Amino acid sequence: MFYGEFEHTLDRKGRLIIPSKFRDALKEHYIERFFITRGLDKCLFMLAEDEWKTQEQKFKSMSFTKSESRRFNRLYFSGAGEMIPDKQGRILIPPYLKEYADIKKDVYIIGVSNRIEIWSRELWKDYYSTSRDSFEEVAEKLIELE
């Protein structure tokens, strides 16, 4: 549902405009609400409400007696915020999430199929430059084509 890479800038009030391509996908799938939380690799994850509920069920089923499960769930869910874009397609990212993802002003918004990732411009450029050369190698390890 979400595909592509877009460079954006937070406005003077700290709001982020969701790319029009993603806003169109939200309308097409009747999605009005989503959740944003701490992601992996120092980015933010943004999930539509249905996808959020699917993830929540999966993570809730992890054993709370394991310290790794507790730690992950605490950080993932305590960072979560419910979002409804305004009429211009803008959201306000909470300060603690901007701090976590090292977001100051310039961001990349990445479509990763069932989720949107929000990266600080610098962290995305670093991640992309260090990962692109191993793309084929990783594909060979993970994907079996028949």
Q: What is the pLDDT of residue 128?
A: 92
Q: Is the pLDDT of residue 146 over 80?
A: no
pLDDT tens digits, 100-112: 999 999 999 999 9
Q: How far apart are CA 126 and CA 146, in angstroms?
A: 33
Annotation: CATH topology of 2-142: Chemotaxis protein chec (3.40.1550)
Q: Is the pLDDT of residue 6 over 70?
A: yes
- Ranges of each domain in the chain: 2-142
